[in-house]
Amino acid sequence: MRRLWLFAILSAVLSFHSPDLRAEPESPFAFQETTLDFGKIKEADGPVSGSFYFVNRSSRPVQIDLVTTSCGCTTADYPTRPVQPGEICELVVRFNPANMSGKVYRDVTVITRGSEDRLVITADVEPAPIGPEQMYPGVVGQGIRSRDLSYRFGYAAQGRSQSQSITIYNSGDKTVLLKAESSNPNLTVKCPYSLKPGAADAVTVTYDIPVGASNYGVTDDIITLYVDGVKAERPIRLSAIMVDDLDRNDKDAPSMRVDPSYITVKDIRKGKTVRRQFTIFNDGRKDLVIRHVKASANISTPLKAGTSIPAGRSVTVDVKVTAPRVTTSQVQESVYIITNDPLRPQKEIVIRTITK
């Protein structure tokens, strides 16, 4: 099968270099498969690995700037040198099923200067037998444990009440009385009045974000538990992305696209500043409105909240990148943008700086 695929790809490459001068494809890479299914695997057996094979079907060498994954459980090895026209390469993916069960999907994105290829790995994980300490590894204190000490709420829409649950477990030998406090007046926390030994119950967190221009962006909130009147040793952190309350089924809605979404600044001296650009496109049918912009410490941009991009139009944004004075030679920073795009209200433009 692989030989047949290689023959077909090589034929396509030869055809591409024929005198008909056809236009280059949007992505320079053609992949044998875009989905890698590991099938049924056991968590206890540890990591598994597999490969995606691809060919550079363009007429120029292509440098892979970065391969990102949607979870730290997945890593990838890929060519660091430019891939030559017609060259067939291998991208090796390793997946660690620890703390997972059932059907799992993870994204792998191959990023070049002008394109992004999205690949998917999947597996059906049989979980290893676990006890309470493995199920609730986050130690809050006073005998109370949780699945984690840091949770992501996801999108919290303005003007609408939204709730989720956080499970806590009493690993002690007696019933305890509980009380919870929140650092955010827009976040309500309701916990069980008491929790028996060896029992688990839900703490309900509810965001009620008021409608307002200042209520966009990422929150960083703290939930403090009191057990029998004593403050627990560790808080539970909760983050949410505050956005508009929009209709995801609106066919006339604005649609944001950013190019490039990944920028590499190479061979810059520490402390020096360079300029780069990215373009925001509105592929929808209504005006795209920038609600919130946040840049990392060494990044600055004139893009402001309130900027409107008409349907079918675009705007090019300047970015000033200052190489940090740190010992490491590579630093990754970002520009976060929140808009009124109902399907993807937040976009991160990743900027990697490589110093001399």
Mean pLDDT within 219-235: 96
**Is there a single domain that holds both residue 137 and residue 238?**
yes
Q: Per-residue confidence at 35, pLDDT binned at 50, 70, 90?
A: very high
**Is there a single domain that holds both residue 60 and residue 107?**
yes
**Is there a single domain that holds both residue 202 and residue 261?**
no
- Number of folded domains that form the chain: 3
**Is there a single domain that holds both residue 116 and residue 96?**
yes
In angstroms, the Cα distances linking 70 to 115, 174, 300 are 18, 41, 26
Domain containing residue 289? 256-355
CATH code (residue 308): 2.60.40.10
Tell whether 93 is covered by a domain: yes
To the nearest whole percent, how much of the chain has pLDDT over 90?
72
**Selection from 353, 144, 347 nearest residue 233 by Cα:** 144
Q: Per-residue confidence at 72, pLDDT binned at 50, 70, 90?
A: confident
**Is there a single domain that holds both residue 117 and residue 141?**
no
Tell whether 340 is covered by a domain: yes
CA-based R_g, the chain, Å: 24
**What pTM value is reported for the model?**
0.66
**Is there a single domain that holds both residue 236 and residue 310?**
no
**Is there a single domain that holds both residue 140 and residue 114?**
no
**Is there a single domain that holds both residue 10 and residue 37?**
yes
Residue 17 has pLDDT above 50, yes or no: no
**Selection from 98, 107, 36, 97 nearest residue 67 by Cα:** 107
CA dist 218 and 221 (Å) reads 10
Mean pLDDT within 70-95: 91
**Is there a single domain that holds both residue 78 and residue 149?**
no
The last residue of a domain, from among 81, 106, 126:
126
Q: 87 versus 25: which is more confidently predicted?
A: 87
Structure confidence by residue, pLDDT tens digits, 151-188? 999 899 999 999 999 999 999 999 999 999 999 999 99
Tell whether 52 is covered by a domain: yes
Give residues with Cβ within 8 angstroms of 102, minimum separation 6.
124, 125
The last residue of a domain, from among 182, 213, 243:
243
Tell whether 249 is covered by a domain: no
The last residue of a domain, from among 182, 215, 243:
243
Tell whether 42 is covered by a domain: yes
**Selection from 80, 54, 55 nearest residue 65 by Cα:** 80
Q: Per-residue confidence at 9, pLDDT binned at 50, 70, 90?
A: low
Tell whether 23 is covered by a domain: yes
Q: Per-residue confidence at 140, pLDDT binned at 50, 70, 90?
A: very high
Tell whether 251 is covered by a domain: no
Pairing mode of beta strands 150-157, 236-243: parallel
pLDDT confidence of residue 336: 95
Q: Per-residue confidence at 142, pLDDT binned at 50, 70, 90?
A: very high
Q: Are 270 and 323 in contact (CB under 8 A)?
A: yes
Residue 16 has pLDDT above 80, yes or no: no
Tell whether 250 is covered by a domain: no
